[in-house]
Structure 1
Amino acid sequence: MKPLVGISLTLGAIFLFSIMGALVKAAEGVPVGQTVFFRAGCGLPVIVAWLWLRGDMPEGLKVQSVRSHAIRAIVGSGAMGLGFLGLRYLPLPEVTALRFITPILIVIFAAILLRERVRLLRITAVAVGLVGVLIIMWPRLSLDGGEREFIGTVMILSSALLASLAQIFVKAMASKESTAAIVFYFSATATTLSLLTIPWGWVWPTPLEWALLIGAGLTGGAGQILVTSSYRFADASLLAPYTYSSMIWALVIGFFVFNEVPTLQMLAGAALVICAGAFIVWREQQLGKDRAARGKINATMR
């Protein structure tokens, strides 16, 4: 294990994902389905090249359950599309803050779908995180604040919900399916599904939009590679807190590129969500250590 390498890769991935989000937001004149096509389609060659260099092509693409990959990819594609749609209605920092509810939702779905035991500390953290989300979205709950903002909030929360479900599916698949297969088939499925939106109107992008869309695909694909590679050098529980660096980039990009000034209410809610999510990550790490220690004790007693 090389923790510093893993942390560096994670920070690099978060930076690239932040740039990708900004490029998608800037290309708001292009239909969402078409944006998903460029994000997944342009990122796919980058991912294939990376898998080839790793020696995972084509052996690493063998699957144990086509159904599992299909469900994970469809849910993940839905999360991507809704997330891109929400970017068109809300400021970038607010979108980022609302998406931080994903690890909180993962705890809830893990308890429901995977029958994981959730104790009082994590339940409390979930409650605090939900309060933070409520604080962020409170101004958007009334249509008096603007119908676009209300729709955007619903889209982002729906995206976070689907993203958390996708992570639960990945968690369930991890012991049976290779990382290479999960990454590849998600991008391939998202590219294919996006083509179904053609009847709803695709456009011929302007030169600037071509650059934005292709850039989003390349940065998104590169970010996916970095975040996947980071797990080879450090545990996921160690790397997870560094994903919150996206809030910094969202604030910087939102202010200097889109002239978006965050409200104190949004920042307060985001702080609660981040603290709750960070605590959940820390608690998961502690529980993992406890399980490993018990495993060693049981092994010595045999």
Structure 2
Amino acid sequence: MQPAAPVPATAERTEAFGILLRVAATLAFAAMGGCIKALGTTVPLGQVVFFRSAFALLPLVAFLWLTGSFPNGLATTRPLGHAARCLMGAAAMFTSFATIRLLPLAEATMLSYLAPAFMALMGWAFLGENLHRRRIIGVALGLAGCAVISLPSMTGDLPAAAFAGLVLGVTTALLTAAALIQVRRLTVMGEQAGAIAFWFAAVSALAGAATLPLGWTVPDGPQLIMLLGAGLSGGIAHILMTLSFRHAEAAALAPYEYLSILWAVILGFAVFGESPGLAFLLAAPLILSGAVTALPGRRMRRTR
């Protein structure tokens, strides 16, 4: 058997750079979550969604312009498809930010990893994708983790606010999975990633602005910094994540996605004095294992 040809050093450096970008993206996402957590309930939820989305457009538009995708790359022949994706994504943003307010940052982040399990089920139900044994195991592990983290609520040991956060976290995972299924549809139909990202941010900003009649506050200095930080870090995180896939395969990047949990634990403990509870420690391995298992089969070797 002839040995595989060695991977060129330039390819190794390129993959390493892609991994570095992916790690930076997880840090940017963690910073966004920290900004939202720091705001607490002092700023209305819709106002937070508006700032997060509107200011994320700044780095996103700059990136699209530098890559030659703005404004021509924003054209679409599937406006209704974009509308469905944007509405589900915007709803997920509302529920996600509400979850961060109600739960420790690590738990809120971990619940988002239920999305791959739900996505596998939705892909089978709506896209006719094969729900093979690997994905069934992933779904089962994710749901088992969800059951474990719900145990305190079943025994009456979970405060009402934390229970509401748990429900909202699971809802966020469902909405995220549905939005990603729609993204997959749009991609298959030939829609560009830049257009999908731009219209999502624009519609989410409009959704947040629509809550203005319900009452907004005039942010003070620290609040304004947190609002701007949430928007810019969220936009930068998406750009870094997109760039990482240009330098490395998804199989190489996937393990680093789960650093988000580590950053959330560190940030929650260091800044907000949050310590993971027993339910989190028991559920995290199940949910993360389910997320990894439910992903599409990954190639073990790089295509040369």
TM-score by length of 1: 0.91
Q: Give the Å deviation of 1:21.
A: 0.3
Q: Give the letter for the 1:4 counterpart.
A: A
Pair 1:82-2:117 in alignment? no
Pair 1:149-2:162 in alignment? yes
Q: Give the Å deviation of 1:237.
A: 3.9
Q: Give the Å deviation of 1:205.
A: 1.0
1:22 aligns with: 34
Equivalent of residue 96 in structure 1, options 109, 121, 131: 109
Contact 2:138 2:292 in 1 (8 A): no
Counterparts of 1:155 and 1:258, CA distance in 2 = 21
Pair 1:71-2:79 in alignment? no
Counterparts of 2:140 and 2:264, CA distance in 1 = 25
1:263 aligns with: 277
Equivalent position SS for 1:117: coil
Q: Give the Å deviation of 1:142.
A: 5.4
Pair 1:249-2:263 in alignment? yes
Contact 1:39 1:214 in 2 (8 A): yes
Equivalent position SS for 2:172: helix
2:6 aligns with: none
Q: Give the Å deviation of 1:268.
A: 1.6
Q: Deviations over 1:52-92 (max 9, x none)?
A: 11111112111120111111111101101110011111101
CA RMSD, Structure 1 to Structure 2 (Å): 1.7
Counterparts of 1:40 and 1:6, CA distance in 2 = 25
Contact 1:94 1:136 in 2 (8 A): no
Q: Give the letter for the 1:173 counterpart.
A: L
Pair 1:45-2:58 in alignment? yes
Q: Deviations over 1:174-197 (max 9, x none)?
A: 131011101111111111111111
Contact 1:17 1:219 in 2 (8 A): yes
Contact 2:59 2:236 in 1 (8 A): yes
Counterparts of 1:168 and 1:275, CA distance in 2 = 21
Mind listing any 5+ residue stretches in structure 1 that lack a counterpart? 293-302
Deviates most, 181-190 or 128-137: 128-137
| Structure 1 outlier segments of 4+, above 6 Å | none
Q: Give the Å deviation of 1:137.
A: 2.3
* Number of residue equivalences: 288
Contact 1:44 1:221 in 2 (8 A): yes
Counterparts of 1:190 and 1:235, CA distance in 2 = 30
Equivalent of residue 116 in structure 1, options 122, 129, 147: 129
Pair 1:10-2:25 in alignment? no
The 1:41/1:143 distance shift into structure 2, 3 A limit, reads farther
Contact 1:133 1:270 in 2 (8 A): no
- Seq. identity, %: 37
